[in-house]
Structure 1
Amino acid sequence: MAKKFFSLIIALALLAAAGAAYAAASPEPSDKTIKREIKLGRKSAAEIEKHVPRVLNPSVEAKLSMIAARLIPHMQRELEYEVRILEMEQPNAFSLPGGMTYITTGMLDFLKSEDEIAAVLCHEFVHADRAHGIVQARRNNRLNLLTLAGLIAATQAGEGGAGIAAMAGGIQTAMMNTYSIDLEKEADAMGIDILYRAGYNPAAMLTMMERMNVERLKRAQYELGIFQTHPEADERVDAALKYLREKGIDIQRKDVVKKLRVKVDEEGGRVVLRIDETEFLSAPAGGEARALLDKTAKRLDETLELELLPYDIRVSELGGERSLVIGRETILREDELLPGMPELPALRDRVMEAVNLARRGGILTDYYE
């Protein structure tokens, strides 16, 4: 019975989190319902935490609170936004009416950067801000806010099996048609705008969904949490990509997913330049070698992107001198190479290898579109 009740509570939470879309997909929420939403959210939170372990980690909670503090000023309604952590392997996040938002330990492990954490929280905050759970319930015309409150109250009043059965029936009926893709895309699009205004990389909304989509297809039996209730993964990715372009926002995934990191180290008497784990250049340690590799590393760091086209990385004749070029920037001239270093075409192949390896986490992503 406890396991069944746990599933029902999570279903209720996900129902409250339902939705996301382009601006105007949902009617304007009324401030008149805020108190009722907050009350319902508090009751739902209390039930969830009876059955799912909450993680109390001050350092992680402080980080989440810091991220939330940058996002909250850009929300349209003054709700009780708070982020709590649940102990759960599945990557998941959901918001309750009134603003309470949960993120699982599995999701925190899955996300690659602060920008991606902000993207997930922002998406869920928008769900609460725009009252998407209530909008979805009204669309289904089977469950409303008062019914939800009554079902929760019935279980809290100790009605036991009857209360649980009533909740099961109400939730299952409300969720029959799943969640509307227009509401999902509204939370993605509004989240992108808020990320931009809050100083985060808005491409994080895209990278998080791209990797979730990969995991969904790689692991047919894997419980994907947030994407199990948001099955239109391809459509959401395409919509987010289109929205970013319509807004004129440069899509730069590299820093968000912590890929194409360039570093120079000294190892066993040699100085080595690597792009992630791919060795690009090395030479016996010494002032001239270190200066060349540091300069080359800086040029690579400024030009490498996951979105580079194959012809962006090339060996060209510039001013009578052959050079390795990325985009419009010269990375390394032939006359700069030290004795024993590979020729430029081989270095070009190493750059391509590093870029291709970095893209593996988003194998379904069309970087050239």
Structure 2
Amino acid sequence: MKTLFHSFPAVLKRGLVVLGVLAAGACAYNETLGRNQLLFVSQGQMAQLASSAWTDLKKQEPTTSDPKYLNRVNRVAPKIIRAAGENPAEWEVEVFKSDQINAFALPGGKIGIYTGILDLMDNDSQIAAVLGHEVAHVKFNHSGERYSQTAAAQTALSAGGALVGDSQVGTTALQALGLGAQYGVLLPFSRKHELEADKFGLRYMARAGYDMDEAVRFWQKMSAQKNGAPPEFMSTHPSDATRIAQLKREIQLIRSGS
């Protein structure tokens, strides 16, 4: 019986082989995560890449000096960072004045959180849930892994383009590889990163003494804010139902000592 790989056009197979060779050369096993990570760049290299972006962002986006927000974040952030085994003095956390319901992390210990999402948070434990999630992204170099996945997919696409020229078969093959790179490789890993950040963020907030159940309550509240979302297989984030179900499982495991 033919496998799916054998039924692909030859150029597509070559592109996939290129991608496989790249991946094999840059995979490292992460014992904490329990899986291999594809990493062409180190955390230090990613921090250098992120540094200028962070500087530009702070120039373009207004920050707030309102103690209503700063006191809450400054009270929680150092505890979460220490719980992750990091030094708060080496991290920078900014509160951006915006109605965006969002937070993000950049390599090199940079965290941005918006007043819009803080307005939704009922207590410090909910802040800890989001900050723990962002610290985990940085801790496990998810940005570096994402960068490496994108580079590998682009290299495979370039290899395919060089081989096929302008033929219709080649165009179809490239479209198929592009679709595979978008929905079959990159986005699922992004969802994996989000769920890993949730998992370890819970552990950080538990070590810091916060109520893990508030993470579930917060994401339930976030879910209620949405007017609709793309299907999970086409999203960089897990569905709210998937995320909440995993949080509940992880809380049980942590409390049982697993």
TM bin, normalised by shorter chain, reads: 0.5 to 0.7
- Aligned pairs for 1:187-336 (under 5 A) are 187-216=197-226, 219-220=227-228, 230-248=237-255
Ranges in structure 1 where 5+ consecutive residues have no aligned partner: 1-22, 145-173, 222-227, 250-369
1:56 corresponds to: 65
Query: Shift of residue 88 of structure 1?
Result: 1.7
Query: Shift of residue 50 of structure 1?
Result: 2.8
Residue 76 and residue 34 in structure 1: after superposition, are their counterparts in 2 closer, same or farther (change >3 A)?
Answer: farther
Query: Shift of residue 132 of structure 1?
Result: 0.7
2:81 aligned to which of 58, 72, 80: 72
2:104 aligned to which of 94, 112, 122: 94
The structure having more radius of gyration, on CA atoms, is: 1
State percent identity of aligned pairs.
25
Contact preservation (8 Å) 1:25, 1:183: no
1:37 corresponds to: 46
Query: Shift of residue 72 of structure 1?
Result: 1.4
CA distance in 2, matches of 1:188, 1:41: 22
TM-score, normalised with respect to structure 1: 0.46
Contact preservation (8 Å) 2:42, 2:144: no
Residue 86 and residue 175 in structure 1: after superposition, are their counterparts in 2 closer, same or farther (change >3 A)?
Answer: farther
Residue 103 and residue 198 in structure 1: after superposition, are their counterparts in 2 closer, same or farther (change >3 A)?
Answer: same
Contact preservation (8 Å) 2:38, 2:149: no
Residue 38 and residue 139 in structure 1: after superposition, are their counterparts in 2 closer, same or farther (change >3 A)?
Answer: closer
AA aligned opposite 1:132: H
CA distance in 1, matches of 2:63, 2:38: 30
2:19 corresponds to: none
CA distance in 1, matches of 2:86, 2:42: 11
Ranges in structure 2 where 5+ consecutive residues have no aligned partner: 1-31, 156-180, 230-234
Flag the structure with more relative contact order, 1 or 2, with Cα contacts below 8 A and sequence separation at least 6. 2
Query: Shift of residue 186 of structure 1?
Result: 1.0
Q: Which has the larger share of helix?
A: 2
Residue 189 and residue 54 in structure 1: after superposition, are their counterparts in 2 closer, same or farther (change >3 A)?
Answer: same
Residue 123 and residue 102 in structure 1: after superposition, are their counterparts in 2 closer, same or farther (change >3 A)?
Answer: same
Residue 143 and residue 233 in structure 1: after superposition, are their counterparts in 2 closer, same or farther (change >3 A)?
Answer: farther
Contact preservation (8 Å) 1:191, 1:205: no
TM-score, normalised with respect to structure 2: 0.64
1:132 aligned to which of 142, 146, 166: 142
Deviation string 1:289-320 (CA, Å, 9 cap, x unpaired) is xxxxxxxxxxxxxxxxxxxxxxxxxxxxxxxx
CA distance in 1, matches of 2:81, 2:217: 22
Over the aligned positions, Cα root-mean-square deviation in angstroms equals 3.1
1:120 corresponds to: 130
CA distance in 1, matches of 2:115, 2:206: 26
Q: Which has the larger share of strand?
A: 1
Query: Shift of residue 40 of structure 1?
Result: 2.6
Residue 63 and residue 35 in structure 1: after superposition, are their counterparts in 2 closer, same or farther (change >3 A)?
Answer: same
